[in-house]
Structure 1
Amino acid sequence: MSAIANRALADLMAEAGMSNKKLAGKLRELALSHGLPGSYTHVYVARWLEGMHPRGQTPHLIASVLGRELGRVVTLDDIGMTATAADLAPGFGLDFAPAPQTILRTTRRLWEADLGREPLLRLDDVPAKTLLSPMGLWLIAVPPQPPRRSGRARKVTEADVERVRLTTHLFEDLDHRFGGEYRRQTAVQYLHGEVSELLHSQYVAAVGRELFAAAAVMTYKVGAMAYDSGLHGLARRYFMQALNLAHVAGDRPLAGKVWALLSHQANFLGEYGDAVAFARAAKLGAQSAATPTVHAMYCAMEARALASLGDRRNAIAALREAERSHGKGRPETEPDWIAYFDRAELCDEFGHSFAALGDKGDAIEFAQLTLRESSDRFPRSRVFAQLTLAGAHLDGKPLERDVEQACLVAGAALERAGHIRSARVRQYVTRFNRRLTPYEKKAAAVGEFREQWHDLLRRCAS
């Protein structure tokens, strides 16, 4: 047996309980999920342990696999494969660091690295717990000075800021209709070009606040597109930069929106306790500055996370608070970025929460309400509601489960999902498909649904 030269890698593999074969298998899975070549075997792993340094993106893949197994960030140094000067640091973009000059440097580097498909950004996992410390710092942060810049650069006007807002709405509409994977890179190019130029230009304090707020909304929107694309570590970096921009803009409710997004993502990834913490941070940090509809959205995120934890009493209390607050909202006094959170969206949050609690009747009722009231402008949201409804038909006691109806509803969702490029949609369908396993030999509808699903996957891949 060869001597182990890379003791750091060996120690982490032992801590994670991973053999050479298991690590190789996990590497193949991760490479495949990112569309990368990856014919890794246990022989490769043995060579790395002997001291061979793999080339290309392989070190980042190894660190990502071990990080997932251990539930923490694993760096290239941790696995004995020292990063080069060109590599981003593992914690890059994850701090609450609201000094304007720091934000300008970090956002520009983030957007450049994203356009350059930096391995760390696409392969790195960022556990939600990594953000608990920045959350605490934001909660106690003092109000910032308004951002202003002088010099020879051109002067930013209110018309420039309005153009950013309108462009954000265009990308938001594309995201809702066609999924986060559709034009995310184009949105990053807009940030790196137009928005970055404006942030580095000259502006007075009043315009600076508006500019930073508009940049925050565009940045969190691109983060949401990354989340929808399954690029979760990248999404969290975008969300944290949106938080920094919103803080410098002096907009606590907008910063709270970022924490609500982080809560939504953490809940999707099964990090339920952190999802509760992020939603409550949004409520606590914004407090009386939040308008009724914004506060209702915070409460809905809290309810969804509590429901995932099985905390029925507090989840229902949060839903009731969301409903009361939403009823007080007036569109003319609400920020434009919360316009999506209408009655249909609130019903959708109720449906998801009751589904997580296993309340079949309520889950079906609110999912159906969502589908009746939601706009065709939000086809992805309608797919999520349909799949929630389909899953609810599989809940309850054995005799109450309606597999035929579940497959019928899910099949209708697939018809709508055909043009939507979204890792989240695919994950929703995959989770529903797993729930059909006990019935695959009992109900013909299961086979028909799976044939429809596989046909859609083939068409998407072609």
Structure 2
Amino acid sequence: MNEPNDALAALISEAGFSWAGLARRINDLGANEGRALRYDYTAVNRWVKRGEKPRPPVPTLLAQALSERLSRRVSPSDFGMTKEETLAARGLRYSDDTRATVDTIIDLGRADVKRRDIVKAPFVLAALGAPSRDWLLAMLEETATERGPRQVGMRQVAGIREMFALFQDMDVMRGGGHARIALVEYMQSYVLPLLKRDHEPAVQDALYEAAAEQSYLVGWMAYDDGEHGLAQRYLIQALRLAQAAGTVALGAHVLAGMADQANLLGHPGEALMLARAGRRGLSKGDSPACLADLHILEGRALAALGEASAAAASVVKAEQTLGSVAHDEEPAWAKFIDVPYIFGEAAHCFRDLGQPSELERFANESAAGARRQGRARRGALSEAALSIADLERANVEAAASRAAHVVDLAASVTSSRTVETVRDLQRRMKPFGNLHEVQQFNARADALLGLAI
């Protein structure tokens, strides 16, 4: 038996409907659309007390009836009547309606918290093109208009941004799986309800921007935790909110995340397209840190495509751009884009290109910076790259010893990427499984991460 629908009960009570009166109004609204509906108070009783869900279009009619009485917009998502197969498709859509985007993020969050099937939704390669195209076109059109000066320091928005910074620090230090559900619940209970109300334009834009930041971070956390279909849907919706806020750099940052994910999943051509779309959307001075990130992700994609000279040129551009970054002038979401991050990604470019000398140069600096900052996830990724360089130089014992350290770092965070990095090292060392050091590494991976060979 389903749980009672407390949200629907509260809305009905607030609207002052009797169950019979609500059923009559739904029938009337259906008749206006040529539908012969025959609901009565017993149907409403089942929806409220048993949590039953009527077939479409009744949830929409129910929302319409409540909206009329409450003089505000109510959607089926507000009382939990959204089909998950519809949500999986809707999460990939770059909507013209910003309010529809907010509803989609609310529904994704509810399904995420309750671990419903949407968490298992597939990553859809074909869904990548339209959002980046629509965002880029919207941003190019926006450059020809005049926007009023953005007000900053508003108390509510400042509080939301402080929470974003806190959760981003948790992600950087502890991994994407550590606090994602807590962030989703915060967004559900506080941030997203604010977006369902009208505000004066400056406040509205600032709220869209803050919500876009958090939606991006939730998507990034899901990505780091290996839930790629869910991550893709959060990121697409975050991109739409960034457009609504008119914040070009944030939109470009979301595209960088989408590029990173596409490349990780083996789609470097699409990753290249996304990174270049983000770079083209930026104007000079928008965010040097974001630009550096887009350059390095372009390099990652080019390296995966085997275009060595172009990839190396992108790495150089990323390094040069990073040198011009004034971190105190960058937004909070760009805080992690620093030497350990950029150099770590550069190391992976040269890993993919089979150039151990360049790999070691960048990975050593990245790993050292990660140690100083206590960033175990970044340290694990860079130390793994150094282990691969040792393997390519036929120094298997050193590679295995370093790989055991990667296991220790991976075990200290909640990140499927670091776990997959250890698996990758196990696959690379399989031909040397008779060596004592490799056996010790595999035993440690089994003991700490459950990765038995």
Q: Which category describes the TM-score, using the shorter chain as reference length? A: 0.7 to 0.9
SS of 2:90's equivalent in the other structure is coil
- Structure 1 pair 146–383 and aligned structure 2 pair: CA distance change class (3 A): farther
CA RMSD of aligned residues (A): 2.4
CA contact (8 A) 1:146 1:206 kept: no
Q: TM-score, normalised by structure 2?
A: 0.76
| Equivalent AA in structure 1 for residue 128 of structure 2 | L
Q: Partner residue of 1:241? A: 237
- How many pairs does the alignment contain? 364
CA contact (8 A) 1:146 1:249 kept: no
SS of 2:391's equivalent in the other structure is coil
- Structure 1 pair 458–437 and aligned structure 2 pair: CA distance change class (3 A): closer
Q: Partner residue of 1:207? A: 203
Tell me how far 1:93 sits from its aligned partner.
Answer: 1.2
Identify unmatched segments of 5+ residues in structure 1.
1-83, 148-155
Bigger drift between 135-144 and 99-108 goes to 135-144
Q: Partner residue of 1:91? A: 89
Q: Partner residue of 1:105? A: 103
CA contact (8 A) 2:105 2:237 kept: yes
Tell me how far 1:85 sits from its aligned partner.
Answer: 7.2
Tell me how far 1:359 sits from its aligned partner.
Answer: 0.4
Q: Provide the rounded CA distance (Å) in 1 between the counterparts of 2:156 and 2:309.
A: 47
Q: Partner residue of 1:272? A: 268
Q: Provide the rounded CA distance (Å) in 2 between the counterparts of 1:137 and 1:256.
A: 12
- Asked if residue 386 in structure 1 is aligned to residue 379 in structure 2, the reply is no
Mapping for residues 58-69 of structure 1, pairs under 5 Å: none
CA contact (8 A) 2:410 2:419 kept: no
CA contact (8 A) 2:135 2:251 kept: no
Which residue of the other structure, out of 120, 125, 137, is the alignment partner of 1:123? Answer: 120
Tell me how far 1:381 sits from its aligned partner.
Answer: 0.7
Q: Partner residue of 2:71? A: none
CA contact (8 A) 2:303 2:352 kept: yes
Tell me how far 1:392 sits from its aligned partner.
Answer: 1.7
CA contact (8 A) 1:391 1:406 kept: yes
- Structure 1 pair 168–133 and aligned structure 2 pair: CA distance change class (3 A): same
SS of 2:266's equivalent in the other structure is coil
- Structure 1 pair 389–108 and aligned structure 2 pair: CA distance change class (3 A): same
SS of 2:183's equivalent in the other structure is helix
Mapping for residues 38-187 of structure 1, pairs under 5 Å: 86-89=83-86, 90-119=88-117, 121-141=118-138, 142-143=141-142, 158-187=154-183
Question: Greater share of helix residues, 1 or 2?
Answer: 2
Q: Provide the rounded CA distance (Å) in 2 between the counterparts of 1:86 and 1:136.
A: 28
Q: Partner residue of 1:453? A: 445
CA contact (8 A) 1:98 1:248 kept: no
| Equivalent AA in structure 2 for residue 414 of structure 1 | V
Q: Provide the rounded CA distance (Å) in 1 between the counterparts of 2:328 and 2:167.
A: 23
Q: Provide the rounded CA distance (Å) in 2 between the counterparts of 1:86 and 1:261.
A: 28
Identify unmatched segments of 5+ residues in structure 2.
1-80
Q: Partner residue of 2:426? A: 433
Tell me how far 1:289 sits from its aligned partner.
Answer: 5.6
Q: Deviations over 1:255-279 (max 9, x none)?
A: 0101100111111111111111111
Tell me how far 1:378 sits from its aligned partner.
Answer: 1.8
Q: Partner residue of 1:258? A: 254
CA contact (8 A) 2:293 2:337 kept: yes
SS of 2:89's equivalent in the other structure is coil
CA contact (8 A) 1:98 1:245 kept: no
Q: Deviations over 1:293-344 (max 9, x none)?
A: 2211110110011111111011011111112222222224322221211122
- Asked if residue 419 in structure 1 is aligned to residue 417 in structure 2, the reply is no
Tell me how far 1:157 sits from its aligned partner.
Answer: 8.2
Q: Partner residue of 2:78? A: none
